[in-house]
Amino acid sequence: MTARQDGEGRVDFRQVRAALPAAVARLLGEYERHLRLERGLSEHTVRAYVGDIVSLLGFLHRDYGADDDRAALADLDVAVLRAWLADQRSSGAGRTTLARRSAAARTFTAWARRQGALEVDPGARLVSPRAHRTLPAVLRPDEAGEVLQASSAGAAELDPEGLRDHAVLELLYATGVRVSELCGLDLGDVDFPRRVVRVLGKGGKERVVPFGVPAERALRSWLDTGRPAMVAGAARADAEALFLGVRGGRLDPRAVRRVVHDAVGSVPGAADMGPHGLRHTAATHLLEGGADLRSVQELLGHATLATTQLYTHVTVERLKAIHDRAHPRAR
């Protein structure tokens, strides 16, 4: 076993990072703080970006002999970047992973150039492979209705968890928010008179997203009946969080994933999915209902319209499937 792999052949990035020269390690720490504090990225995104750069720097100092502090990144050029990606590909990394790591490398080298750690930015010359984007699984409108109908039956028993889970499902489907955004909602973020929620998205960007009458009913039932009962049964409850776990703390994304998996799994034939699948479903149904791409982009909090355009492919595929089944001369 090398310093780069565990007993099963997986890279141990903690060991790789610990083995970096002191000057490089300090620079990496500054970059991590930049991502977290200046760019306001989520912890998950920061970990992914930093992990990719640890991999790059470990490759640089292992294979190019840059093992001292004299010139921390002196040997980092576009040839090294390409060799690193080739090494990743030979290790089994797919196109999507390589595209993400290329983007991470370009972000890092641009930052390092601004900090004076690089004389030129080698990432500017790096051409990354185009990620292969698969069409996400989505529920049909009738399947989404069955999921929510089943959860409403559980809520009708006035069990606190049942009320909460139904409100979570209704709000996810109504708004298309990310699971992290949902779990981050506070009580003050819900505006019932306007029927909107204020969401803090990626990069600390705030947006306002509307929800419908069914979601309003589910939220009111949770807040009037379910949440007080859950607070009363907890030793200590989060006073601000909109959704609570059974112990009174802010609801965890893992618990939301379980709720969605269980609810969707109760509908025969429905594609297995988590909260992100409901986000895909909401976006697809909005477009199929006549919403324009720019509006859906705003609702979902996408930085670029290109991300939202993925859903046009979903709707086209669905229309083609319907055509193949229904048109007498489709085959």
**Among all residues, which ones are annotated catalytic?**
178, 202, 276, 279, 302, 311
Which residues are CB-neighbours of 275 under 8 A, at least 6 positions away?
A: 172, 178, 179, 182, 253, 256, 257, 260
Q: Which of 216, 187, 219, 183 minimizes the C-alpha distance to 201?
A: 183
Structure tokens at 80: 């090294």
Q: For the chain, how many residues are written?
A: 331
Tokens 């959704």 belong to residue: 243
d(CA 23, CA 69): 5
d(CA 243, CA 167): 9
Q: Which of 119, 48, 114 minimizes the C-alpha distance to 77?
A: 119
